[in-house]
Amino acid sequence: MLSQLVYVSVRNPSCTEEEIQKILAACKRNNKEKDVTGVLLYSNTHFVQYLEGEYSKISSLYDKIKTDSRHKNAIMINTAPIQERSFPSWQMGAKKFDNDEITYQTDMSSSEKVAFKSLLSGKESNNLTIGLIKKFFK
Ligand SMILES: Cc1cc2nc3c(=O)[nH]c(=O)nc-3n(C[C@H](O)[C@H](O)[C@H](O)COP(=O)(O)O)c2cc1C
């Protein structure tokens, strides 16, 4: 069943920008074959990843990603069936964000910014989440 999965995690200080490029190279290498698409938002301190594809593929990928030492404290925010993909042509779109400058980088309202910050702390799990993530990729 076509599904989505969103998690947040804490970027380890040892995960340099060079390591981010290696992660994106792994996405390119592996996600196409699994027919997984999605986006990776990252800041100096956090990751937010949105994965979409067959449920079995994204859940096994998440199990593998969780064990990666470049981050920790992965919290699953949402997993649910979807009708169609939001990012059908992206093996893994990526964007760096600044935790303190979110409103300057997106068209988020101040209340959405509060919701995004609570998402980063693993507290937000409602269906606004994907809408907030999409705002970074307009
Ligand atoms: C935040 C984060 C997101 C990641 N996302 C993916 C992903 O979408 N696809 C993927 O194959 N690897 C992803 N990885 C990397 C995997 O943990 C793992 O290192 C990689 O899949 C190994 O690839 P290989 O078996 O081709 O060497 C991610 C790692 C981190 C830290």
Looking at residue 123, its pLDDT comes to: 81
CA distances from 41 to 1, 11, 73, 83, 130 (A): 25, 11, 16, 23, 12
Tell me, using a 6 A CB cutoff, whether residue 135 lines ligand 1.
Answer: no
Q: CB under 8 Å to 18, separation ≥6 — which residues?
A: none
Secondary structure element (H or E) that encloses residue 132, with its range: helix 129-134
**What are 95's strand-pairing partners?**
41
For the chain, domains (ranges, CATH) are 2-97 (3.30.70.100)
Residue whose Cα lies nearest atom 23 of ligand 1: it is 26
Q: How far is the CA of 61 from the centre of ligand 1 (A)?
A: 8
Give 12 Cα–ligand 1 centroid separation in angstroms.
15
Residue pair 71/7 in contact (Cβ under 8 Å)? The answer is no
Q: How many of the other CB atoms lie within 10 Å of CB of 122?
A: 17
Contacts of 14 (CB under 8 A, 6+ apart): 69, 70
Q: For the chain, 138 residues long, give each residue's pLDDT as a single digit of tens.
A: 999 999 999 999 999 999 999 999 999 999 999 999 999 999 999 999 999 999 999 999 999 999 999 999 999 999 999 999 999 999 999 999 999 898 888 999 998 998 899 999 988 766 678 899 999 997
- pLDDT at residue number 104: 85
How many angstroms separate the alpha carbon of residue 31 from the centre of ligand 1? 9
